[in-house]
Structure 1
């Protein structure tokens, strides 16, 4: 049986052993957090109840810090310290009202008065807002001030600022200096940082720097992902500058595969299109074959650009095989495909087959355009078949094909070669009437031919016609006219007047 005194000594022994006293239930951690939540709700209610008129009615000294006073008073009434969430709410409220002057007061108070460690996400959002409002200097200044807010900046803040700077082309020159200063702040660029910079360089067309930065990324032991390679590759293939060579494109292509990434359908198509435009038909054909080995079905554009490259390299046997393959696999050729194939026939001096092909594609529901007819027209001009040239020209007129200056130049050439100088002069008048200005060589050919055939009056008429359009023929025309002047003195005055004019 226990003694009565033993039941009394147990709690005293516990207090003496642990040296702890029972705390008041009103001073615990959860109660302090509850007070902070209540203060935040009070702050939100005061901000919602305040109207622009009520803010303006405040004294000028209190107006810039109205929301800041609301924050301080709300938390003082509950005897607790403001939280980062409360400051973030005030900052976002000021941003919505575009009150950036008051925002400066809030940031100054947070920096100089508060002692809490400000989370980085507050500054990340604020840097983004500064960038959207064109306040680039404020965004840069805030990034370097972050340690004064008792916040350790990381690559997250750096990426936010890089994204802001990369949106403005003029601000890109600041980035190298920014990266150097950020390294002093112990911020190391990561894969996401490289991706932002490479994306910006690709967007402005500086692919050479993008490739160099990609190599630096690999040198820093970062592994670029497949999307980054695809972005650089597509940007490189879109460049129409002659300085971009197939060697550079294929170099990035091979680096992508060496990095362990399998190119997608878009990557194959971009490379094939680029090589086709460059006239690298064999390389484009090899990439197309590789695409099929990877069991990726090429689209009609990939086949067409491979065809175009083969035509440029005059690999006509492969052109026929590839065109048959398009039909076998069930793809429907478009007008661009047919134009490339017709060009192949014309390059082989098969103008009749090319002309027959026009009626075939019309039966298949594909309407030929001006490029189609100009290609066939040029082919007949090269083989000097004036009758077929006129037949094609009549068909173009009958089908209301809008001819251009190239069409007229081809017709005039064909007429001059066929000995139809008078008809060529009429074609020239029609051309000038439609405001198409031919090359100087066309004027020279017409005037020289007219002078050789003894048609001096027509030559002078053509000279006056040309002069009325503020164009002077070349030396070939003047030599022909001077030779006519030596033989025929009847037109001396007219020709001298033309020379003076």
Structure 2
């Protein structure tokens, strides 16, 4: 018998609903200890435990990165007679894979198969994706054979992982074959798959094919997201097609899609590589007016670009702006400043910056040493230049042709 506010009730259905509600409230508030107590009470009293409520608990534990806890709770679900579906099993396997414990995930999948819970395409995609992400390519064919044996049909997400896998192992000619096979099977292509194919074509320098896929995506009624735009903008920037890249950015903004830092910095890098520093400056100014905050990469890109374009004062302004914003200078920033001061003949200031760089724990690279050696050489200080070369070799950096 159950008592609430002095009211006695022996209605098992009422008790089941109340216990389930209390369990969900504990989970929503991340009061995991209390949730466990409610679960134990329900088990002890023989109250039916709803798998859907348990799934909420598993998701909450996974979000909090409590790997051992969600696997332990899943085992308690099994032992307590909760009706287990492939959905709760896949949530646990996904959590294990995200923690790099793919083997544990596969073991759980095999264990549950012996209990009658068969993995579905989402389960297999989770495991495949984990192996591909950690570049454990040797196991991928084994998992694919298992899918075939279990007659699990590929979906768009499977093909997305396959394309990444095939590209990584260097079988570039097979990527389009896989894409065509997917079309032949009439698998519905999603935005993620288009993004993978566009990115792959851009990496291969096939910009026309990438643009054609972007147009095809829109014709199919799919809405391109920031990842699709980012992939194509990156490809256009790498091939120096800055006008087309800018048009894509404008298209993004007209659709109300948030322009992220990666896309902005990609465009800036493209402009700077082509020496289009005024265009780069205008882009930063326009985006700053819309609330964009430059990051370390933005400052690095602009300062390096200005320096290569022999606009040294502007390069210094970008780096000094970093200091004003209280952003920490890194090895690239120090090297750029050292290079500028050496070009200006101010070797004293360059050496000060070099020492400051070392004190901050930033490791100079060959570009840093070459800039300083060049500065000393132009002042006729060859002993200092040779000393730098010896110091560089002592740190394990081999001189290059420029040295």
TM range (shorter): 0.5 to 0.7
- Determine if contact 2:191/2:224 at 8 Å carries over to the other structure: yes
CA distance in 2, matches of 1:166, 1:420: 54
**Residue from 208, 211, 215 that aligns with 2:68:** 208
The size of the alignment, in residue pairs, is 334
2:335 corresponds to: 476
CA distance in 2, matches of 1:133, 1:391: 55
1:363-384, Cα deviation, whole Å (9 max, x unpaired)? 44445443223212323444xx
1:90-136, Cα deviation, whole Å (9 max, x unpaired)? x89xx5xxxx24x4xxx7xxxxxxxxxxxxx82856855875897xx
1:269 corresponds to: 122
| TM norm structure 1 | 0.52
Structure 2 matches for 1:18-29, cutoff 5 A? none
2:31 corresponds to: 170
Aligned CA distance change for structure 1 residues 482 and 192 (closer, same or farther; 3 Å):
same
CA distance in 2, matches of 1:178, 1:451: 65
- Determine if contact 1:198/1:210 at 8 Å carries over to the other structure: no
Offset of 1:327 from its aligned partner?
Answer: 0.8
2:284 corresponds to: 428
Aligned CA distance change for structure 1 residues 321 and 262 (closer, same or farther; 3 Å):
farther
Q: RMSD between aligned alpha carbons?
A: 4.7
- Determine if contact 1:128/1:164 at 8 Å carries over to the other structure: no
- Determine if contact 1:273/1:306 at 8 Å carries over to the other structure: no
**Residue from 292, 295, 299 that aligns with 1:443:** 299
- Determine if contact 1:234/1:270 at 8 Å carries over to the other structure: yes
1:111-169, Cα deviation, whole Å (9 max, x unpaired)? xxxxxxxxxx82856855875897xxxxxxxxxxxxxxxxxxxxxxxxxxx89987875
Aligned CA distance change for structure 1 residues 348 and 245 (closer, same or farther; 3 Å):
farther
Offset of 1:272 from its aligned partner?
Answer: 0.6
- Determine if contact 2:27/2:35 at 8 Å carries over to the other structure: no
Offset of 1:236 from its aligned partner?
Answer: 1.8
2:190 is equivalent to residue 334 of structure 1? yes
CA distance in 2, matches of 1:284, 1:379: 28
2:247 corresponds to: 394
Offset of 1:417 from its aligned partner?
Answer: 1.9
- Determine if contact 2:271/2:277 at 8 Å carries over to the other structure: yes
- Determine if contact 1:284/1:306 at 8 Å carries over to the other structure: no
2:383 corresponds to: none
Gaps of 5+ in 2: 348-403
**Residue from 122, 127, 143 that aligns with 2:10:** 122
- Determine if contact 1:279/1:310 at 8 Å carries over to the other structure: no
| SS of structure 2 residue aligned to 1:436 | coil
CA distance in 2, matches of 1:396, 1:172: 49
Offset of 1:389 from its aligned partner?
Answer: 3.2
| SS of structure 2 residue aligned to 1:450 | helix
**Structure with the greater alpha carbon radius of gyration:** 1
Structure 2 matches for 1:5-404, cutoff 5 A? 100-101=5-6, 103=7, 122=10, 131=19, 170=31, 172=33, 202-205=58-61, 206=66, 208-212=68-72, 227-228=83-84, 230-239=86-95, 242-259=98-115, 261=116, 263=118, 267-276=120-129, 279=132, 287=143, 290-311=146-167, 315-382=171-238, 385-386=239-240, 388-397=241-250, 400=254, 402=257, 403-404=259-260
Aligned CA distance change for structure 1 residues 189 and 319 (closer, same or farther; 3 Å):
farther
Gaps of 5+ in 1: 1-87, 108-120, 135-161, 489-501
- Determine if contact 1:451/1:484 at 8 Å carries over to the other structure: no
Instruction: Specify which structure has the bigger relative contact order, considering alpha-carbon pairs within 8 angstroms and separated by 6 or more residues.
Output: 2
| TM norm structure 2 | 0.63
CA distance in 2, matches of 1:435, 1:166: 37
